[in-house]
Structure 1
């Protein structure tokens, strides 16, 4: 079974975003990890950075690419749980992923434990960067370098905590180095009322102290636009609509991003780090290192077949519900869903009779690149975590909820710019939305988010924050229980390590 074998055996060498240095991180077991936060100069990843904090920042950045943070556990929790996707692969493969799909996740589920460990690992690394800055023994380190490094670390910490509060609801709030793991540190759980102000403060600091862009050699480093974009999502999740309008406007008026990139191009290798990209996890591979410097994000979702069509594990496949959500002739459907027996975006004939009728075409790799690397797994594919169209649609949503004629007009304009890009100059499809009714516009924006961002990891969280998760998921045969299935269970392994300090979520 591909998933079970590769979870326990794969090793991923992860390339630092800013320094080009790599380390080995073999994944033998979910519990066989460095204790979160217990890093020092001798065991921290990526020694030898060029700046005073680069070696530590690079290690924190690398965690974004880790298996636990943006690969299979992430894909299962944020996509397979939704109505956009089904588990895929083969019926016997991936029982933990099947639990996610069926919303019967047990506290013993290995993926929930991986998510917990991976995100607290990132939090620990970010806290170590901040500690190094605060206790820098060199009095000559320029203050601007300190502030910028702290801003990057605080963004990474905020990103991790935002994921954790949406996944688990209540988690230990750790803002300094600990001597053991998060679960063993006797720190009780904090809930959303404590976590969200902490996340907001970190992102506000990052937005105020990061540059709008970097030199090309530092591609992928976090910018003020990324901080404001993620902050918009944090605020929208809390229904702070006026504030979300403001932060989204800051991104839209920055001049750094645009909808000029054709939808067909965004997800290709040549579309990486384009004007559409706000937060993108960097990965790379070449013939010398076909798997060692990248991410398995594309591989776990790649077409599952035989011979030349054995491109991946075949998980996270588009659902019939997503397939039916597109308007007639919407080009985004073709770019998102790859059909068994159909044709790829590169003109290849896909064999019929594959294990699944549909696959995620947004992670499909260029055959020319596969040949040049000598690998079919797509380890070189970047992970898109935040796109400009997402921010534009969040602005439209926030403006709609604030209401008033002027805001409704602004929301319509934002929504229709996304539709205009999607139609690609074809006036016969995707006409502009025209309405003055708030509820009609609200529903139009929700539909647009789904098809614009199909298979891009926001659908489950969107359904929960809109309060319609039960309605939508039950309609797809998922037994969603209100008050339980909005969250995952706290991993039993972590409750055990905490000796009862951590308590379980309701219903589990």
Structure 2
């Protein structure tokens, strides 16, 4: 549910008109409907099927839409740093912060790095506050089952936040409690990934055990066990814990809650949000009177940078020519991923049959991210072109299927790996037997490369490519081949610890190697 016009109630710690994350199919966007999970004057303090801890939980979900969590720095660090994307826009746009993220090395004074640090730790602080209230606030009366589910929701978000931090920065402070003096939080020493990863695993394991398979019908945006198990599979895969990754991925696959029935071309549109493909999806919403307050500046940052009706955003995160060349012949996913500008003698059209502006006279880039292109009917309804209503897909079912395939291949379960790989390719070919032939190799190395290629194409522009290159140990070769000659894996696999945070810690925090 996306567009709304009803009044909402602002309460205490946060404006409770917050979008939650969606994990169930079938939620459509309608005018004149309440925002998912939001409170109104008619149902505060909480409606039937909700819970007494939502004042804390909604604040945490709201942070998932934060500019410092899933917008600017997130796009730059997870996508623009990879070989699949370039900064885009004009050469100088974004300044050194973004240009060095694209071309390396990133400097310790990089503002985007510091924003990510503060964004994720801010969310962790809210999680710790919520967990403290669940455990110790005797003024809140709740059934043990309600407390357990609330704890599970919060621990999922905290585990996810630490997973992002450890992949972005490496050695990070492990903060799992509320500080009487908030300033003292800046002086916690870093822990190594060997300490952080078990903490993440525990949080996500508790979340998987405590969350429902499906959220209450009244709140389709609540987290589920599938989201926790799916994220845990990625955590295990990152550490090469192949058997454990297979186990939790199979829990998602065998749950019966998700499938690959949603056409690839539909997944990324407004009417494809929260489909059977969706496992962890950050919600956003907008209306003509609230164009940005309840949304997220995600599509806007990547929107076509043109004139008039095509003045849709910053034009950042453009698909690279190296991604363009990586597609197999006639793969339909290419058209849903790369939106081409028109050129002299070669007119290009959008998904909605709009004629794209001309490169280079009307737009500065040849290619744009078609997975965030907005429906003109929603632009008209909101009377805005920024796309703040677009959800952010963090974890899809196809991702989990491919994680299972990768882990299966590494453990010698070759046929299972082939079968799971074929599930994703079959959906992509959409019945056209002339394209995307079935992968049949049983050679472990050959199958590994095929699965890696499939992840690149299936999840293109979706924030996994850089992390995948690093965990596969091929970042140097891949990024150098894409023209990012300054990349040095021993230094650039991790961002520098922000100098601002080192200063605040009075040098308790130590810089990463190479910076």
- Please confirm whether the aligned pair reaches a TM-score higher than 0.5, indicating the same fold: yes
Match runs of 1:254-273 below 5 Å: 254-273=255-274
* CA shift digits 1:16-47 (9 cap, x unpaired): 4263159xxxxxxxxxxxxxxxxxxxxxxxx9
Q: 1:377 aligns with which of 375, 386, 393?
A: 386
Distance (whole Å) between structure 1 residues aligned to residue 488 and residue 340 of structure 2 = 32
Q: Please list every run of 5 or more consecutive structure 2 residues that lacks an aligned counterpart in the other structure.
A: 1-14, 21-35, 343-347
Alignment of 1:56 with 2:74, yes or no, is: no
Distance (whole Å) between structure 2 residues aligned to residue 486 and residue 203 of structure 1 = 25
Match runs of 1:104-123 below 5 Å: 104-123=105-124
* CA shift digits 1:311-366 (9 cap, x unpaired): 11100000001000100000000000000112111111101121110000000000
How far off its partner does 1:477 sit? Answer: 1.8
Q: Which residue of 1 aligns with 2:430?
A: 424
Q: Which residue of 2 aligns with 1:232?
A: 233
Q: 2:397 aligns with which of 376, 388, 401?
A: 388
Distance (whole Å) between structure 2 residues aligned to residue 290 and residue 185 of structure 1 = 35
Q: Which residue of 2 aligns with 1:360?
A: 369
CA contact (8 A) 1:13 1:292 kept: no
Match runs of 1:290-301 below 5 Å: 290-301=291-302
Distance (whole Å) between structure 1 residues aligned to residue 470 and residue 216 of structure 2 = 38
Distance verdict in 2 for CA 1:495–1:360, change over 3 Å: same
How far off its partner does 1:73 sit? Answer: 0.3
CA contact (8 A) 2:261 2:276 kept: yes
Distance (whole Å) between structure 2 residues aligned to residue 139 and residue 265 of structure 1 = 43
Q: Which residue of 2 aligns with 1:507?
A: 514
Q: Which residue of 1 aligns with 2:353?
A: 347
Count of matched residue positions in the alignment of Structure 1 and Structure 2: 470
In structure 2, the residue corresponding to 1:483 is in which secondary structure? helix
Alignment of 1:320 with 2:321, yes or no, is: yes
Distance (whole Å) between structure 1 residues aligned to residue 16 and residue 137 of structure 2 = 29
Distance verdict in 2 for CA 1:181–1:452, change over 3 Å: farther
Q: Which residue of 2 aligns with 1:211?
A: 212
Distance (whole Å) between structure 2 residues aligned to residue 14 and residue 69 of structure 1 = 18
Q: 1:490 aligns with which of 492, 497, 514?
A: 497
* CA shift digits 1:186-240 (9 cap, x unpaired): 2100010000000000000000110011134312211000000000000000000
* 4+ aligned runs moved over 6 Å, structure 1: none
* CA shift digits 1:39-98 (9 cap, x unpaired): xxxxxxxx9555210000000011011000000100000000000100011112102111
Q: 1:398 aligns with which of 391, 407, 424?
A: 407
Distance verdict in 2 for CA 1:497–1:139, change over 3 Å: closer
Distance (whole Å) between structure 1 residues aligned to residue 327 and residue 179 of structure 2 = 48
Q: Which residue of 2 aligns with 1:465?
A: 471
Alignment of 1:474 with 2:480, yes or no, is: yes
CA contact (8 A) 2:17 2:37 kept: no
Distance (whole Å) between structure 1 residues aligned to residue 309 and residue 426 of structure 2 = 37
How far off its partner does 1:136 sit? Answer: 2.4
Q: Which residue of 2 aligns with 1:434?
A: 440
Q: Which residue of 2 aligns with 1:274?
A: 275
Match runs of 1:65-84 below 5 Å: 65-84=65-84
**Aligned-pair Cα RMSD in Å:** 1.6
Distance (whole Å) between structure 2 residues aligned to residue 180 and residue 58 of structure 1 = 24
